Chains A and B, each alone.
Chain A
Amino acid sequence: MKVSYSWLKEFLPLDLPAQDLAARLPELGFEVASVETRGPGFSGVVVGHVLAKEKHPNADRLSLCVVEVGSEKYSVVCGAPNVAAGQKVPLARVGAVLPGGFKIERSKIRGVESQGMICSRKELGLGEDADGIWVLDPAAETGGDVAASLGETGHVLELEITPNRPDCLSHLGLARELSAYFRMPLRPRPAAQIPAGSLSCLDVRVEAPGACPRYVGRSFEGLSIGASPGWLAAKLEAVGLRPINALVDITNYLLMDTGQPMHAFDADKLAGSIVVRFAKPGERIVALDEKEYALTERCLVIADQKGPVAIAGVMGGLHTGVTEKTKRAFLESAYFDPPAVRRASQALRLKSDSSHRFERGADPEAAWTASLRATELILKLCGRTAKSSEPLDRRAPAAAPAPIAVTSRRINDILGSAFDSGAVESALQSISAGFKKEGETLRFTAPSYRHDLATVWDLAEEVARLAGYDRIPYRVPAAVLRPSRSLPSQTIAGRARERLTALGFCEACNYDFISDRTAARARLRTPLLRVKNPLSEEYANLRPTLLVGLLGNARLNLNNGAESVRLFELGKSYVPAGAGATETAQVAGLLLGPMARHWTSPRGRRLGFYDAKGVVEELLAGIPGWEWAPFSGSPAAADPLFHPRASLRLRHAKGPLGSVGLLHPAAARAWDLEREEAALFELDCDLLAQLEGTRTRFVAFSVFPGSSRDLSFLVAASIRYSDVLAAVGAAGCAELRRTELVDKFTGQGVPTGRQSLTLRLHFGRADRTLKDAEVAAATERILAELKSRHGAALRS
C-alpha cells in the first residue's frame, strides 16, 4: 500500500524524517518496499509578476490582471479577492498541467479572454484550506519554475501490509498504529457537518444479513459532478490513484483515508430499490472494468429490481456507475463478511482495492463514519445544488465481542519476557479503549477494526510488538536430552549420496514437473498426475520417473561441451492411484561417454550397461534377498525409457526394486543421444527402506594360500555367462572359492558363432594348502561339466 507521509501527518504530529519512519516501521511488522520522494503534482507553472489589476468588465467579483513573465505579458482573469498589483504569483500559462491532469487552455471567462490562471495553493495540490491565490516571496525570480523551486514536496512509502492487518490499509489505520507505538495522541478528523436530509433514501433490503451485517446508504440529488479540486486530485495521485470525477474521487480518497470501501451508483440508472442477496444462476454483470462476469450462487451481489448492479465488496457494475452526467446518486457504505467477498472474488478471479480490504476484514463502524464524511464532501464538491437524504442503516444484530481476560504473568509466560504489569497495561491500553482492570486480570475488548485480536497469544504479540521484540531475552530451552532419530529414508538418501559421489556421479536436482511434450517424447504410457493450474505447459504433469529429468540434463551437458556425464538424483516420482496419488522416493542415475579420458590411455573405454549394473550392485551391497530378472513381467512407469533387450529388473520378494539398462533407441532419438550409449538406473528407495540390511560380521579367511587356474575355452556365442556359471556350480567343487571372468572375446581366431571365455578359478581350503593334483582334478571336473553342458572346447 502506498502511504503519503504528509497525509499521515494530518493524523499525527510526527516530526521524524520519512527515512527514519521507514526504518522504524519493520519493528511494528510492516515491511517497507520503498520510500520515494515526489515532486509537486503540477508542471508548467511559473513565477509571474502582477503589473496591474483591473475589474473584469462583465463580472463584479472577477478581476483582470496583467501578469508579466520575462518580456511577455499575459492577460489573466482571476477570481480571488487577494490578488493585487506588485505581487509575485504562480501563473499557470496555457499548456501548464495542474493536479488531476487538468490542462490549462486558452479560454474566455465572461467574454474576456484569459491567457492563463493565477493559482491558489489548493489548486496546486499543496494544501486544502488556503483561501485565495498563493502569494509568493517578492524576491522570487520572475519566470522561475514553481514546481522546481518547491523541490521534493512529499514522501511516499510503499508498505507491505500482512493479511492479518486490514485495519492498516489506510492512512487513518496506520496513524492509529503509530499513535500506539509512539504513544502519541491521534488527531481525529473533525466531525462531519451535514445539513438535515431533505430527500427520501432509496430503500435497501438485506436478504443475506450473514454476508452483509451492515449496510449504510444515502441518496443524493442535484449533483453536478466535475473534476476534483487540485488538493483532492493531488492526494489521489500521490498514492497512485487516477482522479476520475469528483464523486468517484471522494470514495477513493476516503478508501485511502479511512480504509472503508464505498460505492456510488447513478440513482437514475437503478431500477427500484436495492436488494443485497446472493446471485441467481445465470445472472451476469458487466463490471467497471468493462468485462462481463457470469455470476454464481457463491457471489454476493447488490441488485436492483432488474438484476445485479454490483458484485458486493468487489466491483460495481458499469451501467449503473457514476459519470459526469450523474445528477442523482446512491452511496453505499457497507460491511461485508470476509469469506463472502473472497468467495466471489475467487470465483470471478477479480480483485480490487475494495475486495482486498473486505476479504481481510473491514471495520463495521467505519461503514457509518466514512459515509458521513463522504456525504459532507459530496455536498461540498459536487455542485451547489447538491442535497442528501437522511442515512439508512441496515444492521444485523451482533453479539458484543467477549472481552479477553489476561494477566501480565500469562503474557510473560508466552514471551519469556519480564515486562512489568504497567508496561503490559499501557501497551494494551494504547490499542483499545475497551480495557478494564480487575485486580490482576485485564479485560481487553478489541476495537471494531481489529479482527486479529481474539486470544491471549494475540495480545502477547501486541505487547511484544509495541515493546519491541528486541526486549525479549535470548534463552536456550532446558530440555531432557533425548538422542535425535533419523529416518530410514534419510539414512538411505545420505548413504546413496556418499556412494554415488564416490563412484564419480554428481547430484542433480530437477523440478518435479514434466510437460505433455516430454511425456510424449519419452513415450510414457501410464497415466500422469496432472496439475490443475500449471505455470506453463512445461509444468503440466508430475513426473512418473526421475529419468526424464536426467535425460534432459545429459543433453544440456553435451550441448555445453561435456564428453561424459554421470548424474544421479534423489527425489519423488508420482503416479495416480485410484482417486489419489502415489509418490515414491527414487534414486536414479544416468551415465554416458568415455570413462575417464587420460593421456596415459587416450582411447579410454566408454561407459555402458555394465558400469550401470556395477553401480547398482555397489548401491545394494549389503542388502540381501534381491536378484536380477529379465525385463518382463509387471511394467513400471519408466519402462519405455529402457532398451528391453539390454535392461534388467531387480526383483525382491517385497516387490520390484527397480531397473537398470541401456536407453531405449526411441528415447535416445528423442533426446538426441543416439551417438551415446547412455545407461540408466532407477531404484525404489521407499521399498529399500522396508528391507533389512545385513549387519556386517567378521568372517575368518584361510591362513593357507589359495591356488588359481585359468580356463580358456570356446563356447557358442549364444551361451550366456549365467549358463557358464551354472555349469561351474554344477561341477560341485567344494574348494572353489570364486569364479572370475578375465576375458571374453569374439573375432579373430575365434570361429564364427563361438566366443572365447577365460575363467579364473580360485581354489582354497580353510584347514590346509591344496595339492596341485587336487586343483588339477577340480579344474578338470569343471571343464568336463562345461563340455557336456555347453560343448566347450579348451583352447590351447
Chain B
Amino acid sequence: MSPVKRADLEAVYARLSGPLFRGPIASARTVEELEAARVEALGRKSGLTELLKGLKDLSLDEKREFAPKVQALKAEFEALVEKRRAELEAAADEASLQSLDLDLSLPALAPARGRRHPLAQTLDEMAAIFGLMGYSWAEGPLVEDERHNFEALNIPEHHAARDLQDTFYLQDMPLLLRTHTSPVQIRTMESVRPPLRVICPGRVFRHEAVDATHSAVFHQVEGLAVDKGITFADLKGTLQTFLQRLFGPKTKTRFLPSYYPFTEPSADVYASCIFCSGSGCPICKRTGWIEIMGAGMVHPNVFKAVDYDPEVWSGFAFGIGVDRVAMLRLGVPDLRLFYENDLRFLKQFDESLL
C-alpha cells in the first residue's frame, strides 16, 4: 500500500471539505441550480464518489480511520442538499400560494341532478315501512272491471255504496278506471292462498271536479293482511306502528267507526296533528287530529268472493291517500301543483342525506 495514495486521498478530502461545494448548495436559487450543485458534489463523477471508490485501496486500519470521515462528509452534503431543497420548495409553495387568486364566492359548477316527484317520494317511503313489516308489493291494472272494483268488494250493482266512489267508465266496453287500489286485494287473493301480507300502492281515479283539495287522479297505498286469528286489535297496532314510523314516534292514533262496504267493522284512522302535536291548529281544524286512513276487518263477503273461508281466515285491510299525506308533510297548499309539473315546484323537493 502506497503512502502516496493515502496522501492523495487526504488532499482530495481536504479540498472537498472546504467551501468548494458547500457554497453552491447553500446558495442555489432554484431547484435546478440545487440539482446541478448536488450532481457536482454527490454525483457519480464527483470527487466524493471517487474518494469513496478510492477507499477500497486503503489498508484496513487506514480504512477504519478514514472512511467514517468521508461518510460523514457525504451525509453532511446530503443534509445540506435536503435542507436547501426544503427551503426552495417552501419558498416556491409560498410564491405559488401568493400568486393564486380565486374568487371563491363565484357560483359552483353543480352537476345536474334531478328530483323524484314528491308523490313518488312519499309513496316510496310508505311502501318501505310496510316492506320492513313483511308486506310484499302487489299491483293490478288501472283499467278495471266491475267485478274487481266493486262486486267482489261487496259493492253490488244498484247499491247506494257506489255513490261513495264516483267512477269514470270507458266508452263501449264494460271497463272503468279503478276508484281505489282495493281491486288489487281481490286479484291477489284470487291468485294466492293465505296467509298473506301485501301492499298495493298505485294510482286511482275519481270522477270529481278538480280543485285545491280534490283531484280526479290520485294515489293510494292499500294494505291487506290475512291469516288465522287476525283481529281488529292487530289492525290498530299495525297502523299505529306505521303512522309512528311515518310521522314520528310520538304520534298518537285514534280509530273511529266508519263505513266501507268491503270491511266490517270499518274505521277511519286519525293521527295526532303533525303540526300542533294535538293541541289544535288551523290545519287540523282545531281538533288535534287529522284523518289519514280508512281501514277495517275484511268483510266476510269479500272472502267468499275469492273463495276464502271467513270462518277460518280473518284479515284486515287499509288504505292511505298518498297525495294528502304529501300535502300535509310538504306544506303544499293545492293538490293541483302535484300534477302541473312546474320545475320550480318539482325542484324544491330535494331528499337530503339525513
B21 at the interface (CB under 8 A from A): no
Interface size class of B (residues with CB under 8 A): 35 or more
Q: Choose among A472, A485, A506, A581 the residue that contacts B136 (Cβ–Cβ < 8 A).
A: A485
Contacts of B143 in A (CB 8 A): 529, 542, 574, 581, 583
> Are A415 and B233 closer than 8 Å at their CB atoms?
yes
Contact B160 A556 (CB under 8 A): no
List chain A residues, Cβ under 8 A from B255.
469-470, 472
Q: Mark B340-352, 1 if CB is under 8 A from A, else 0.
A: 1111101100000
Q: A165-B259, A475-B237 are in contact. Are A596 and B231 (CB under 8 A)?
A: no
Assess whether A535 is in contact with B256, with CB atoms less than 8 Å apart.
no
Indicate whether A49 reaches chain B with its CB closer than 8 angstroms. Answer: no
A469 touches B240 (CB 8 A): no
Interface residues of A in 453-493 (CB under 8 A from B): 455, 457-458, 460-461, 464-465, 469-470, 472-477, 479-487, 489-490
Is A416 a contact of B116 with CB atoms below 8 Å? no
- B19, chain A: closest CB distance, angstroms: 47
Contact, CB under 8 Å: B134 / A479: yes
Contact A164 B231 (CB under 8 A): no
Are A510 and B233 touching (Cβ within 8 A)? no
Given A417-B233, A474-B236, A535:B210 Cβ within 8 A? yes
- Say yes or no: is A511 at the interface (Cβ < 8 Å to chain B): yes
Number of interface residues of A (CB under 8 A): 94
Judged by a CB distance under 8 angstroms, whether B2 is at the interface is no
B254 at the interface (CB under 8 A from A): yes
User: B318 within 8 Å of A by Cβ?
Assistant: no
| CB < 8 Å neighbour of A580 from B113, B115, B175, B203 | B175
Asked if B170 is an interface residue, CB under 8 A from chain A, the answer is yes
Picked from A457, A483, A500, the residue with its CB within 8 Å of the CB of B264 is A457
Known: A501-B113, A535-B210, A553-B341. A28 touches B257 (CB 8 A): yes
B residues less than 8 Å from A535 (CB atoms): 207-210, 216
Decide: A506 and B347 in contact? CB cutoff 8 A.
yes
Would you call A512 an interface residue if the criterion is a C-beta within 8 Å of the partner chain's C-beta atoms? yes
The yes or no answer to B54 lying at the interface (CB within 8 A) is no
A748 at the interface (CB under 8 A from B): no
Q: Residue among A26, A359, A510, A565 with the most chain B CB within 10 A?
A: A26
Task: Kindly list chain A residues whose C-beta atoms are within 8 Å of the C-beta of B240.
Answer: 474
B314 within 8 A of partner (CB): yes
- Assess whether B216 is in contact with A539, with CB atoms less than 8 Å apart: yes
Interface of A: prevailing SS: mixed
> A338 within 8 Å of B by Cβ?
yes
Closest to A486 in B: B137
Residues of B close to A475: CB separation below 8 A: 231, 233-234, 236-237
Cβ-based interface call for A171 (8 A): no
A582 CB to closest chain B CB, in angstroms?
A: 9
Measured in the bound complex, the distance between the Cα atoms of B141 and A343 in whole Å is 28
Minimum CB–CB distance from A233 to chain B (whole Å) comes to 31
Q: Which of B67-75, B104-112, B274-282 contacts A (4 or more CB under 8 A)?
A: B104-112
The smallest beta-carbon distance between B297 and chain A, in angstroms, is 6
A310 nearest CB across to chain B (Å): 20
B159 in contact with A509 (CB, 8 Å)? no
Say whether B265 faces chain A, with CB atoms less than 8 Å apart.
yes
> Are B113 and A484 closer than 8 Å at their CB atoms?
no
B7 → chain A closest CB, angstroms: 54
Name the contact of B341 in the complex, choosing from A502, A503, A510 (C-beta under 8 A). A510
For A497-527 the 0/1 string (1 means CB < 8 A from B) is: 1001111111111111100000000000000
* A507 adjacent to B117 (CB under 8 Å): yes
Closest-by-CB residue of B relative to A481 is: B134
Are A457 and B297 neighbours in the complex by a CB distance under 8 Å?
A: yes
Note all chain A residues with C-beta closer than 8 A to B203.
Answer: 512, 571-572
CB-defined contacts of B139 to chain A, threshold 8 Å:
487, 489-490
Chain A residues near B160 (CB-CB < 8 A): 163, 166, 338, 342, 359-360
Q: Could you jot down 27 A-B contacts, CB within 8 Å?
A: A163-B164, A346-B158, A415-B265, A457-B264, A460-B264, A469-B257, A472-B236, A474-B237, A474-B240, A476-B241, A477-B230, A479-B195, A484-B131, A484-B135, A486-B131, A486-B136, A486-B137, A487-B137, A501-B113, A506-B343, A506-B347, A508-B117, A511-B339, A512-B217, A556-B342, A568-B114, A581-B170
The 10 closest A-B pairs by CB, nearest first: A416-B233, A416-B231, A504-B112, A29-B257, A461-B265, A162-B259, A501-B114, A339-B158, A507-B117, A530-B171
Q: A165-B259, A473-B236 are in contact. List 20 more A-B contacts (CB 8 A).
A: A163-B159, A338-B159, A339-B158, A359-B158, A360-B160, A416-B236, A457-B265, A469-B256, A477-B230, A482-B197, A484-B131, A485-B136, A486-B136, A507-B116, A509-B120, A511-B339, A530-B171, A535-B207, A553-B341, A579-B173
Which residues of chain A have a CB within 8 Å of any CB of chain B?
A: 26-29, 162-166, 338-339, 342-343, 346, 359-360, 413-417, 455, 457-458, 460-461, 464-465, 469-470, 472-477, 479-487, 489-490, 494, 497, 500-513, 529-535, 539, 542, 549, 553, 556-557, 560, 562, 565-568, 570-572, 574, 579-581, 583, 596, 598-600
